[in-house]
Amino acid sequence: MKIDRIELFHISIPFAKPYALSKAYGTLRDAHAVIFKVHTDEGAVGLGEADPMNPFTDETPSSVMVVTKDVIAPRLLGQDPLQVATLERMLDQSVHGNLTARGAVNMALHDIAGKAMGIPVHAMLGGRLHSEIPILWGTSSATPAEDIASIEELMHLGCRTVMLKMGALPVSQEIKRLISVRKYFEDDLSLVVDANQGWEVVEAFTFIEGVRGCPLQMIEQPVKHWDLEGLKRIRQRSPCPLSADESLVTIHDAANLVREKAVDVFSIKVSKNGGLTKGKAIAQVAQAFDLKILMNSMLEFGITQAASLHLGCTLSNLLDMGHAYGSVVRMSDDVTDFGQNISGATVKVPDTAGLGVRLDEKKLKQYTKEHLEIKHE
Ligand SMILES: [Mg+2]
């Protein structure tokens, strides 16, 4: 079998409701992704998805398309897609960075290989330990009353873990938000705070002191991605585990976070981390040092979410709480059928071959802003 054609589709779909993140990212109205179709000469098609979001990642949908056309595709065309490890190493040697583009390719190769062997991708990753996983939901930056109203809706679905997005408002207001939500829901709810790099170290200290005594499951990425020393200082004062998201892109970041004793949890996103092979390697670094994993998500559609689920279900060091498998629900639509795995606040791991996700061609056409086809000459 040989790869003979690669198609790229830059899609854009509005959120169901505008999504307010931190100072760094502002309020988002549409999610963008690049869908990959990797075609073979035997008619098999592998699906991949890149979820770049500048300035979270250093890529954009356009840069994903350009680097794929100019650098990645010329090396993949004519190759055997079943040689996943060989192709991964070849691209490691020839492409610097561009991990969301690389991740989409890695997902598509796993999809083709799983379909060729008639097994789900999780079986290729060692087999599943979890057949279903509770979902963690994120709420936008909001007032305490808005937080409580949106969390009540989620709890009706069965949700028991919520990630409050912080880092956009003054810290004194963020403290009030957390205390109000905690008082209202008491022990029925596990709370995670994600500041998305929005704080200085002293602001994180103020937050920790302000919410002391208020049970909190985890704080994610309070400070800038490069500030491992800051993370370490915050961890030393934090009453709850600290997670790295933006600070954890490559396996070398994972090694540095461990060396610095900077965090307790790695927040893995298969698109951000460059695919399933690299995501699994990062999870194993965490396992070796007794760190836990939050399976987290960018603003993802069903292909990345499926890939993330196939990886997450194989991990023995998943945090004992919800994980981010509800990304398609916060969008007004999706180009895949991934949503069928979600019931209430639980996601069921699919056992069909490959990634187990199907593209809706009509919707793909409807939401495509730019299409590119790269063929083997
Ligand atoms: Mg995060």
Question: Are 367 and 330 part of one and the same domain?
Answer: no
Residue 23 has pLDDT above 70, yes or no: no
Q: What are phi and psi of 146, to 5 degrees?
A: -65, -40
In terms of domains, do 63 and 177 share one? no
* Tokens, residue 207: 């937050």
CA distance readout (Å), 41 to 37, 80, 353 = 13, 10, 19
Distance, CA 246 to ligand 1 centroid (Å)?
7
310 within domain boundaries: yes
**Whether the predicted pLDDT of 96 surpasses 90:** yes
**pLDDT interval class at 19 (50, 70, 90):** confident
Consecutive H or E run containing 218 = strand 218-220
Average pLDDT over residues 178-197: 92
Do 330 and 186 lie in a common domain? yes
Smallest CA-to-CA distance from 108 within 334, 274, 310, 354 is with 354
- Examine residue 355 and state whether it is found in any structural domain, yes or no: no
The Cα–Cα gap between 80 and 14 comes to: 37
**Predicted local distance difference test score (pLDDT) of residue 18:** 79
Query: Average pLDDT for residues 128-151, to the nearest whole number?
Result: 90
Q: Is residue 354 part of a domain?
A: no
The reply to whether 235 falls in a domain is yes
Task: Confirm whether 353 is domain-assigned.
Answer: no
Specify the pLDDT at position 261.
Answer: 97
User: What is the 282 CA–ligand 1 centroid distance (Å)?
Assistant: 16
Q: What is the mean pLDDT of residues 149-169?
A: 91
Joined together, the tokens standing for residue 90 give: 């070849």
Distance from the alpha carbon of residue 336 to the mean position of ligand 1, in angstroms:
24
With 90 as the cut, is the pLDDT of residue 107 above it? yes
Residue 36: Cβ within 10 Å count: 27
Which residues, at least 6 apart from 281, have a Cβ–Cβ distance to it below 8 Å?
251
**71 close to 94: Cβ distance less than 8 angstroms:** yes
List Cα–Cα distances, 31 to 52, 56, 280, 327, 357, in angstroms. Answer: 10, 13, 26, 10, 19
User: The tokens of 220 are what?
Assistant: 């994610």
Are 98 and 183 in the same domain?
no
Residue numbers of the domain that contains 193: 123-348
CA of 280 to the centre of ligand 1 (A): 19
* Same domain membership, residue 246 and residue 327: yes
> Using 50, 70 and 90 to split pLDDT, how confident is the model at 20?
confident
Confidence bin at 138 (pLDDT 50/70/90): confident
Band (139; pLDDT cuts 50, 70, 90) = confident
Q: Is the peptide bond before 55 cis (omega within 30 degrees of 0)?
A: yes
C-alpha of residue 242 to centroid of ligand 1, in Å: 11
122 exposure class (CB count in 10 Å sphere: 0-12, 13-18, 19+):
buried
Q: What is the pLDDT of residues 213-252, one digit of tens each?
A: 899 999 999 999 999 999 999 999 999 999 999 999 999 9
Tell whether 68 is covered by a domain.
yes
β-sheet bridge partners, residue 242: 219
Q: What are 204-213's pLDDT values in tens digits?
A: 999 999 999 8
Mean pLDDT of 307-331: 95
Judge whether 14 and 332 are in contact, CB under 8 Å: yes
Diameter of the chain measured on Cα atoms: 65
Percent share of the chain, pLDDT over 90: 88
Average pLDDT over residues 54-58: 87
Name the band, by pLDDT with cuts 50, 70 and 90, for residue 163. Answer: very high
Identify whether residues 108 and 127 lie together within a single domain.
Answer: no
Ligand 1 mean position, distance from CA 107 (Å): 22
Taking the centre of ligand 1 as the mean of its atom positions, its distance from the CA of residue 83, in whole angstroms, is 33
Q: Is the predicted pLDDT of residue 25 greater than 80, yes or no?
A: no
CA of 244 to the centre of ligand 1 (A): 8
Q: Cα of 221 to ligand 1 centre, how many Å?
A: 6
Confirm whether 356 is domain-assigned. Answer: no
Same-domain check for residues 111 and 21? yes
* 111 occurs within a structural domain: yes
The answer on 242 and 150 residing in a single domain is: yes
Distance 73 CA to ligand 1 centre (A): 30
pLDDT band at 271 (very low <50, low <70, confident <90, very high): very high
Are residues 113 and 237 located together in one domain of the fold?
Answer: no
Mean pLDDT taken over the chain: 95
Q: What distance in angstroms lies between residue 235's CA and the mean position of ligand 1's atoms?
A: 16
pLDDT at 143 over 90: no
341 Cα: distance to centroid of ligand 1 (angstroms) = 23
345 pLDDT above the threshold of 70: yes
Q: Please give the distance, rounded to the nearest whole angstrom, from the Cα atom of residue 348 to the centre of ligand 1.
A: 23
pLDDT exceeds 70 at position 310: yes
CA 8 to centroid of chain Cα atoms: 20
Give the DSSP per-residue string, 142-192.
--HHHHHHHHHHHHHTT--EEEEE-SSS-HHHHHHHHHHHHHHHGGG-EEE
Same domain, yes or no: 113 and 255:
no
Contact 275, 89 (CB under 8 A): no
Distance 81 CA to ligand 1 centre (A): 32
Q: Is 336 helix (H, G, I), strand (E, B) or coil?
A: strand
- Give the global pTM: 0.95
283 — pLDDT class (breaks 50, 70, 90): very high
Q: Are residues 146 and 262 in the same domain?
A: yes
Q: What CATH number is attached to the domain comprising 55? A: 3.30.390.10
Number of domains the chain is built from: 2
Spacing, Cα 196 to ligand 1 middle (Å): 6
Q: Per-residue pLDDT averaged across 143-148, rounded? A: 89
Residue 228 parent element (H or E): helix 228-237
Per-residue confidence band for 132, with pLDDT thresholds at 50, 70 and 90:
very high
Domain co-membership, 96 together with 214: no
